[in-house]
């Protein structure tokens, strides 16, 4: 964020020292982040191809507020130009995890392919779906997996995530077994790409997306969405099973807890819906269970 601001200031001919920047400068910078598809050209950072989400713009704004507030407290600045900087309200994409039934149907379809003499595709696709479900990897992260980034015993994988940040993802249980089966039994030798076509070519992210959509159709799944819904499934099930927020954040590769808290709200709402069905006041009344209100009020 700060290196981006410095680059943007130079591009616009602004001062590049914090004490010379105004609130208007910072507001223009956030406007650039919010509206420009191809950002950061020529500043050594990875380029972008789409407009930043409101959540990303909000995160940039919070970083600016923190930095300039710190600079004021340390007496580098008399006032913070970000103190009254207006930030967009962060909007997160709707949480739509696959259901357990849908995930099981896709895994079962892969297993049937193996049994019906489509061994290569069945074993490979079973490994892909298993990793999506058990790691929460983004589509691009899974598509770009490298053999050189897997530990020799397949217990961990190093993943290059958003913002060119590297993180370690654990491979356990059935997911590890499915990946090992694919690598040792059917994957074509050569090259560093983990995922390959039957002809030995690296499998692209577009091909994986098409594979998931076709697999859903064959499994009888009517709901929309693609590979990213596996990430929702992973996050919500980890939280529902008791994993703490920061561990989920680390596994997903998020810089902050904002998105994880969004997942947590979804999980809590689902629990509330289940709880209401169990503790419905009206249903309880007709079950003859009595009411806490039976003894309330004034008695003559």
Q: Tell me the average pLDDT across 52-62.
A: 83
285 — pLDDT class (breaks 50, 70, 90):
confident
* Domains of the chain as residue ranges with CATH: 2-73 (no CATH), 100-227 (1.10.443.10)
Mean pLDDT of 21-50: 80
Q: Quick one: average pLDDT of 78-102? A: 86
- Binned at pLDDT 50, 70 and 90, residue 171 comes out as very high
**Which of 99-106's residues contact partners 24+ apart within 8 Å by CB, and which partners?**
102/216, 102/219, 102/221, 102/223, 103/129, 103/133, 103/230, 103/233, 105/219, 105/220, 105/221, 106/212, 106/215, 106/216, 106/219, 106/221
| Least confident segment among 47-61, 76-90, 220-234, 245-259 | 47-61
What percent helix, strand, coil does the chain show, rounded to 5?
55, 5, 40
For residue 176, the tally of other CB atoms under 10 A from its CB is 20
pLDDT above 60 for 217: yes
Question: Contact, 27 vs 14, CB < 8 A?
Answer: no
Say if CB 160 and CB 141 are below 8 A apart. Answer: yes
- Whether residue 296 has pLDDT greater than 60: no
pLDDT of residue 103: 98
User: Quick one: average pLDDT of 194-207?
Assistant: 96
Q: Is the pLDDT of residue 229 over 70?
A: yes
For 7, the token pair is 């680059």
H or E segment at 178?
Answer: helix 173-185
Helix/strand/coil (H/E/C) assignment for every residue in 191-232: CCECCECCCCCECCHHHHHHHHHHHHHHCCCCCCCCCHHHHH
Higher pLDDT, 88 or 145: 145
DSSP class of residue 146?
B
Output 129 or 77, whichever has higher pLDDT: 129
Q: Please say if the pLDDT value at position 148 is more than 50.
A: yes
Q: How far apart are CA 300 and CA 221, in angstroms?
A: 62
Q: What pLDDT does residue 205 have?
A: 94
Residue 93: its H or E element: none
Choose among 267, 212, 217, 210: nearest CA to 242: 267
Is pLDDT above 70 for 112? yes
On average, the pLDDT of the chain sits at 90
How high is the pLDDT of residue 45?
A: 56
H/E stretch holding 167 reads: strand 166-170
What digits encode the pLDDT tens for the residues 125-137?
999 999 999 999 9
In whole angstroms, give the CA distance from residue 190 to residue 67: 48
C-alpha–C-alpha distance, residues 274 and 268, integer Å: 10
Of 163 and 25, the one with more pLDDT: 25
């Amino acid at each position: 964020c700060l290196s981006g601001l410095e680059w943007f200031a130079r591009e616009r001919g602004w001062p590049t020292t914090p004490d010379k920047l105004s609130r208007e400068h910072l507001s223009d910078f956030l406007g650039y982040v919010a509206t420009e598809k191809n950002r950061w050209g020529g500043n050594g950072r990875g380029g972008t191809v789409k407009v930043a989400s409101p959540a990303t713009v909000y995160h940039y704004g919070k970083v600016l507020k923190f930095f300039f507030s710190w600079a004021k407290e340390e007496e580098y600045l008399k006032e913070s130009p970000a103190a009254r900087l207006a930030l967009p309200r962060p909007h997160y994409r709707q949480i739509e995890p696959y259901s357990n039934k849908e995930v099981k149907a896709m895994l079962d379809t892969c297993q049937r392919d193996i049994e019906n003499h489509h061994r290569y595709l069945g074993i490979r696709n079973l490994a892909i779906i298993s990793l999506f479900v058990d790691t929460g990897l983004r589509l691009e992260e899974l598509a770009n997996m490298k053999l050189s980034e897997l530990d020799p015993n397949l217990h961990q994988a190093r993943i290059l995530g958003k913002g060119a940040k590297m993180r370690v993802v654990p491979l356990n249980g059935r997911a590890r077994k499915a990946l090992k089966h694919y690598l040792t039994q059917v994957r074509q030798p050569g090259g560093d790409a983990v995922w390959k076509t039957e002809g030995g070519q690296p499998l692209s992210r577009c091909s994986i997306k098409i594979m998931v959509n076709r697999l859903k159709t064959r499994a009888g799944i009517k709901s929309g969405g693609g590979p990213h819904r596996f990430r929702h499934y992973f996050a919500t099930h980890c939280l529902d099973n008791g994993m703490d927020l920061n561990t989920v954040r680390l596994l997903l590769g998020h810089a902050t807890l904002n998105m994880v808290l969004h997942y947590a709200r979804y999980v809590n709402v689902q629990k509330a819906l289940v709880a209401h069905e169990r503790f419905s006041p009206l249903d309880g009344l007709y079950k003859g269970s009595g009411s806490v209100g039976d003894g309330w009020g004034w008695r003559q």
